[in-house]
Amino acid sequence: MGNGEKDQFWIGFDLGGTKMQALLFDDKLNAKGGNRRKTKGESGAQLGMERIVQTIEQLLDEAKITKKDLAGIGVGVPGPLDLDKGILLESPNLGWNNMPLRKQLEEAFGCPAVVLNDVDAGVYGEYRFGAAKNARCVVGVFPGTGIGGGCVYEGGILRGKNGSCMEIGHIQVLPNGPLCGCGQRGCLEALSSRLAISSAATAAAIRGNAPHLLAARGTDMADIRSRSLAEAIKAGDEIVEKIVRDAAVWLGVGISIAINLLAPDVVVLGGGLVEAMPDLYVKEVERTARLRVMNSLRDSFKVVAATLGDEATATGAAAWARKSIKSSDQRKEGG
């Protein structure tokens, strides 16, 4: 399904929980445009697929690019995947199950498509163009509602036999600790995610220990997000700062385990917490990780904040699609 070597373009697509984003790149992966829409999980898989296709088609129309000019599409997706078949097995946030993303995209646009985990795509984007450019081994950790992880090792995305791996959020760091959404206790996610932080901060506000947070956001946990926490700390809510620091310490504990296993030269932290409080959060994570790793690894890595923002997943998906599809084409030609 190749389109020759001239005038090739690539689509990177981020199918997030609340939004979908398409970015267009030329063959040198220079950005040529973008389109973003809110997702509507209640619409179901079929209408969801139609929205994906419409989002890409609108982007192509605006850029005056035809489907025949597309060399490939890469899609970063949250949830369990069959990577080899390009099937989204389950996405609770979207309500989509057993969705053959790759097949439907290839039929709609007549070019190869690659489906990968959204965090893997984001980490690959940071490896190619961002905070971990050209590192030998990159571990990426993105704390949010949960805690996503990914690893790029010598230019390839670390993965399992059929699906993605690096579920760092479900490392058990506190036996018999808080109940995690996965059903286990003491997972890193139950101690260090933004959801865990917001829960503790809400309790502090209810007790009257976080007056600035209470005045600004009340006691609805859904309203207490990363920026709200940063503003409360700046206003003087010391208990909120302690809650965030404690969560960052736990994240550093989890990351130290990954460092002992993989010896990365770069650890990239991304997501809303990092963007809202880069100095406080990144420094606390790095300090803890450095204290807990093996002596021989203590000075072998750096911890940095991601730089691509909310374009990391779509950018990484396009870059990974280009790498994967061109490698496949070369193998076919060689065979």
Residue 42 banded pLDDT, cuts 50, 70, 90: very low
**Could you give all domains of the chain from N- to C-terminal order, each with its CATH number?**
9-117+311-334 (3.30.420.40), 131-307 (3.30.420.40)
Residue 84 Cα to chain centre, angstroms:
20
Q: Which two tokens stand for residue 289?
A: 């990780």
Q: What would the mean pLDDT of 277-291 be, rounded to a whole number?
A: 96
CA distances in angstroms from 250 to 147, 167, 304, listed in the order given:
12, 15, 17
Question: Mind listing the pLDDT tens digit for each residue in 25-41?
Answer: 999 999 999 998 876 55
Question: What would the pLDDT profile of 171-202 be if each residue is shown by its tens digit?
Answer: 999 999 999 988 999 999 999 999 999 999 99
Task: Label the pairing between strands 147-153 and 156-157.
Answer: antiparallel
pLDDT at 46: 79
- Proportion of the chain above pLDDT 90, given as a percent: 81
Residue 327 pLDDT exceeds 90: no
The answer on pLDDT for 3 being more than 50 is no
Widest CA span of the chain, in angstroms?
Answer: 70
* Confidence at residue 5, expressed as pLDDT on a 0 to 100 scale: 52
- What residues contact residue 283 under an 8 Å CB cut-off, 6+ apart? none
Q: What pLDDT is attached to residue 145?
A: 86
> What pTM did the predictor assign?
0.93
- pLDDT at position 4, please? 45
Residue by residue, what is the 3-state secondary structure of 67-79? HHHEEEEEEEECC
